[in-house]
Structure 1
Amino acid sequence: MEPDLRERAIEATNDDYVYFAEFEGMVIRSTGVTDHAEVLRAALAAATELVLEGAIVPGDLGWADEDFAPWPLTPEESVARIEREVAEHLRAGTNPDMGDICWFDLPARIAEREAAKRAAANDSPTPGSPVKDD
C-alpha cells in the first residue's frame, strides 16, 4: 500500500469513524487513479491490508446512538465479507455510498469504550442492593 494512502487512512480513522467509500477518495488523492473499478479494487486492497494487520476494525454504526459495533468476525472473515460486498458493487457498476459495506474504527478506541462501559456497569448499583450513603 502506498505510504500516503496508509497515512490518510489511519489519520482519518484517528479523527472519526470512516466508512468504506471514504477509502475510494483516499485512493484517488493518493494515487491519481480515477477508473471506478481500479479505485474500488485499490480501496479494497488498502482496507484488507489494514484490517488483516489489526490497524482498523470493520463494523456497523448505529445511527440512533452513533455507537460503533465491531463485527463479531475474525479479521479474515471480515475481509471476506467486505470482498463479497465490493464484488457486488463491481458487478453492478455502482459506487458504495456512505454507510455501505462497513465502517471502520481503531482497536484502541473500541477497547477504551468497552473499558468505560465495564467501569460504568461496576459503578451502578445492582437492583435490590442497598444504596451506599457517603
Structure 2
Amino acid sequence: MKIAIGCDHGGYLLKQDILIWLEEHDIDFEDVGCYNTDSVDYPIYGEKVARLVSSGECDKGIVICTTGIGISIAANKVKGIRCALCSDSLSAEMTRRHNDANIIAMGAGIVGPNLARRMVEVFLNTEFEGGRHARRVALLDSIQP
C-alpha cells in the first residue's frame, strides 16, 4: 500500500506526526508538501494528493489543513476521488465501509495527534463492504462531470 499525504501550513505539524506513524508501521508514502509552516494555498496540496490517488500511483490519501474543510473540498474536485472529512475514528471507519472513501481529510486544529494516528490506522485498515453500498458509491461517482 502506498499513501499520498499533503497539507497546508496549518496542517504541517500534524502531518509530520502522521509521517512518523507511517514510517513506524512500514507504510510507503509520498509526501507532496507543504514542508514547513510558511503560509501556502491548501488547494494545491489537496489536488496533488487527489491526482496521485486518482491516477492509481497511490492507493489512498491523507490531507490536512487547519479545519480539513478547504483541503477536502479541493481533493473532491478531482474525478474519482471520495475524500471524507473526519474528526473521529468511527467516521473514519464508516466512510471506508460505506462510502469507499479513498482520501481522509482532517483538521489539525480539530484533532490532536493521538486521535489523528488512530483515524489513519482505522481508515487504512478498514475494507469497503460493497453490496448495497457499491450501488450508492456508483451513484456518487455518476454525479461527477
Q: Which of the pair has the greater relative contact order for Cα pairs under 8 Å at 6+ separation?
A: 1
Q: TM-score, normalised by structure 2?
A: 0.29
Larger Cα-atom Rg: 1
Structure in which a larger fraction of residues adopt strand: 2
TM-score by length of 1: 0.30
